[in-house]
């Protein structure tokens, strides 16, 4: 076959289709490479770096989500360097944001021996819950900046361009034009951003209100609308 190639992952020789990423090949082998920002429906930006692997001959670790399998590549998915990077990234995340609604990352922390209190006196990214529209609430204390919401709002899906970034570096936060409330932006309430949010930073309003202890019958807006429509 001309469109397949052979490489070695963790000492195991494997044949892969041309064009597949290291993540795809490794997962087909049943290997567990963790991912955070990666989502099959959005453009992979290789920004969380939790999926990095060590490729022989490369100066730095390589993100498995975007690097294509190459003939003769020698890959280690759990070298010392890889484990140190993953553990430290997890420890930094824990010291930065509210991970309470991300059991997958909590599980990763256990697996990589990450210390939840590794960085004492660390500045956290905290912000008030923004409840400014009938569809969803935004709690950026829980945002890990995976960019998926910005991408689906833009040219990965909806072409609405309602949200982008405030600030830069550690102080980056997802934001609207001059911090306008969602109804004053180009948002069409399609809900795609809520659908791809991995941490509960974006949450359907109904779910949020239920969590706040509001009785379901009092969560009126949408139900009322439907009842009224049905009654007509």
Binding residues for other proteins, rule: CB under 8 A, are 36, 45-50, 52, 60-61, 63, 66, 81, 84-85, 87-89, 91-93, 95-96, 118-123, 145, 154, 161-172, 175-178, 185-186
For other proteins, give the closer residue by CB, 9 or 89.
Answer: 89
Cα–Cα distance, 84 to 17 (Å, whole number): 30
How many residues in the chain? 232
Instruction: Please check whether residue 22 is in contact with residue 69, taking contact to mean a CB–CB distance below 8 angstroms.
Output: yes
Instruction: Please check whether residue 53 is in contact with residue 62, taking contact to mean a CB–CB distance below 8 angstroms.
Output: yes
DSSP secondary structure string for all residues of 9-75: ETTEEEEEETT-BHHHHHHHTT-----SS--TTS-----S-TTEEEETT-SS-EETTTPBP-TT-EE
Least gap, CB of 191 to other proteins (angstroms): 18
For other proteins, give the closer residue by CB, 78 or 119.
Answer: 119
For other proteins, give the closer residue by CB, 48 or 137.
Answer: 48
For other proteins, give the closer residue by CB, 9 or 96.
Answer: 96
Least gap, CB of 161 to other proteins (angstroms): 3
Least gap, CB of 66 to other proteins (angstroms): 6
Token reading at 101: 């609604």
For other proteins, give the closer residue by CB, 66 or 219.
Answer: 66
Least gap, CB of 118 to other proteins (angstroms): 7
Q: Which positions ≥6 away from 112 have C-beta within 8 Å?
A: 83, 86, 87, 90
Least gap, CB of 97 to other proteins (angstroms): 9
Cα–Cα distance, 166 to 171 (Å, whole number): 8
């Amino acid at each position: 076959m001309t469109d397949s190639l052979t490489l070695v992952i963790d000492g195991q020789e494997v044949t892969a289709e041309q064009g597949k990423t290291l993540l795809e090949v490794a997962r087909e082998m049943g290997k567990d490479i963790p991912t955070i920002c990666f989502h099959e429906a959005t453009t992979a930006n290789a920004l969380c770096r939790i999926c990095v692997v060590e490729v022989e001959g490369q100066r730095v670790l390589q993100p498995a989500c975007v690097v294509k399998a190459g003939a003769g590549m020698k890959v280690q998915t759990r070298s010392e360097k890889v484990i140190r990077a993953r553990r430290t990234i997890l420890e930094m995340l824990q010291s930065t944001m509210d991970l309470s609604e991300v059991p997958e990352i909590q599980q990763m922390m256990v697996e990589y021996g990450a210390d939840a209190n590794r960085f004492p006196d660390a500045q956290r990214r905290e912000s008030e819950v923004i409840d400014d529209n009938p569809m969803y609430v935004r709690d950026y204390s829980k945002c890990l900046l995976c960019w998926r919401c910005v991408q689906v709002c833009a040219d990965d899906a909806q072409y609405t361009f309602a949200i982008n970034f405030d600030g830069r570096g550690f102080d980056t936060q997802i934001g609207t034009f001059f911090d306008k409330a969602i109804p004053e932006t180009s948002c069409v309430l399609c809900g795609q951003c809520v659908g791809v949010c991995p941490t509960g930073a974006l949450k359907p309003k109904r779910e949020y209100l239920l969590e706040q202890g509001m009785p379901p019958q009092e969560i009126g807006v949408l139900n009322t609308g439907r009842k009224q429509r049905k009654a007509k």
